[in-house]
Structure 1
Amino acid sequence: MHRVIVAGGATLVRDAYAHIIDGSPTFTLQAQTPTFAEALTFLATTPSDILLIEAHELAGVPPVATQQSLRQAAARTRVVLLGNPPTDLALLVGAGVTGILGLHLELDHFFTALDLVSRGGMVISPAPTHATSAPLSPPALASLSNRERQVLALVPTQPNNDAIAQLLGLSPLTVKTHINRIRHKLGASSRAHLVAIAYESRLVTPGLTPHAPTGQ
């Protein structure tokens, strides 16, 4: 059973998600807190598997403070935001967020997303509508080879290079080499930055099921 904390949002909405999670055969409600700050206090003493935060909890909070709090949470559990975040994708991914779920997901898709996150994947469904500070230009993406595009498309949904290698029939060392080349070509500062680029450029269509792109 995966333990879930539900934090923030309107009481009735939070209660509804808590009820749904607690009725699942694979997830259990560990706690629900009125605020993200109270969830952090809970996590300081109690291990958990997923922290589900209502995205509006981040509204009005300076970016530096938001990153600090999210990193603190991500150091203890997997962090999922519910709703449209009031900040850009690169900041969230860089802070350790591994899920952003729209408010209109069907129930089975909601649990599929949580399951993927619990296994180390990343889910962004649908894509956040907030504009990022440095969107990728098409010419930059055009500099990638077909194989490099394949690798970049899998970075957001696969937990590590071994998983990407298995999907593409490559060695983990080859995947690592591709990722280093992609970072150099795109000027990406980190793997988290590559995740943001993959979504911002629409190379990855927001959804729940990762696929290996075709072509060489």
Structure 2
Amino acid sequence: MTRILIVDDQEMIRVGLRSILLTHPPFEVVGDVGDGLQAVRFVQEQPVDVVLMDIRMPGVDGVEATRRIRETCPAERTRIIILTTFEHDELVLAALRAGANGFLSKAVGPTELITGVEEVAAGGGALSAAASAALIGHVSEQPSVTIDDEMAGRFAGLTPKEREVVVAIASGLDNAQIAAGMFLSPYTVKTHLNRAMTKVGAKDRAQLVAFAYRAGIAR
């Protein structure tokens, strides 16, 4: 059973998310709250496996709530997925730095939502195409990108296929699209992805993309 907390200041969104998640029996929605401060208190008082966190809320927003949760709850205990419309892509990076494990657009369908929660709950990271686009947009607006030599050294150990998969992910493609473009099976793509994350020390898909930009292999 995966215990899920929904955090959003709009009641209709919370109701919609709950109705979708409850169609998947392994999920249990243990609560839904309307602001970041309530989310922090809830996680401190009750065990939660995955938090679905709106990024823009009055008062304590999703970024600050994520940071506060991480002060007492490591990723091994509680995973956090940021829900956003990606109107302000700098918030995506801020949430990543605060300790978020994945990003999903509020416009995702039921299947992608359930799959994303499953991936993050299992220790991976959900990163929708919209999230990748937000990261790309933020980086491309910077006047210059300083390559992190230490990080570049980590990526030097990747095989050509692993590197190609990382670049494709950073460009916003999902596993199925990468598999079709590289003439590989989705399972093989996932294998390359997992090996790449292990080699560079990325805890999930979102962090892998951030590392790729720091290493200069994704632009």
TM range (shorter): 0.5 to 0.7
After superposition, the CA RMSD in angstroms is: 4.6
AA at the equivalent of 1:124: L
Residue 108 in structure 1 maps to residue 121 in structure 2: no
Secondary structure in 2 matching 1:48? coil
Give the distance between the partners of 1:82 and 1:19, measured in 2 at CA: 16
Paired residue for 2:95, among 92, 96, 117?
Answer: 92
1:24 alignment counterpart? 24
On the 8 A contact 2:62/2:95 being kept in 1, the answer is no
1:49 alignment counterpart? 49
On the 8 A contact 2:43/2:69 being kept in 1, the answer is no
1:186 alignment counterpart? none
How many matched pairs? 183
Identity of aligned residues (%): 19
Unaligned runs of 5+ in 2: 175-189
On the 8 A contact 2:80/2:101 being kept in 1, the answer is yes
Larger helix percent: 2
On the 8 A contact 1:136/1:197 being kept in 2, the answer is no
Please show how residues 111-126 of structure 1 align to structure 2 within 5 Å.
Answer: 111-125=114-128, 126=130
Shift in Å, 1:27: 0.8
Give the distance between the partners of 1:134 and 1:148, measured in 2 at CA: 28
Shift in Å, 1:18: 1.5
Paired residue for 2:162, among 150, 153, 178?
Answer: 150
Secondary structure in 1 matching 2:28? strand
Q: 1:106 to 1:194 in 2, by over 3 A?
A: closer
Residue 37 in structure 1 maps to residue 37 in structure 2: yes
2:71 alignment counterpart? 72
Q: Given the two structures, how large is their TM-score scaled by the length of structure 2?
A: 0.62
Shift in Å, 1:134: 5.5
> CA deviation digits over 1:149-203, x for unaligned, max 9?
725829999xxxxxxxx935xxx8x987x538xx9xxxxxxx9865314379795
Secondary structure in 2 matching 1:131? helix
Unaligned runs of 5+ in 1: 158-165, 184-190, 205-216
> CA deviation digits over 1:4-23, x for unaligned, max 9?
00012311111111122223
On the 8 A contact 2:103/2:206 being kept in 1, the answer is no
Shift in Å, 1:67: 6.2
Secondary structure in 1 matching 2:162? helix
On the 8 A contact 1:89/1:196 being kept in 2, the answer is no
Please show how residues 185-196 of structure 1 align to structure 2 within 5 Å.
Answer: 194-196=208-210
Secondary structure in 2 matching 1:31? strand
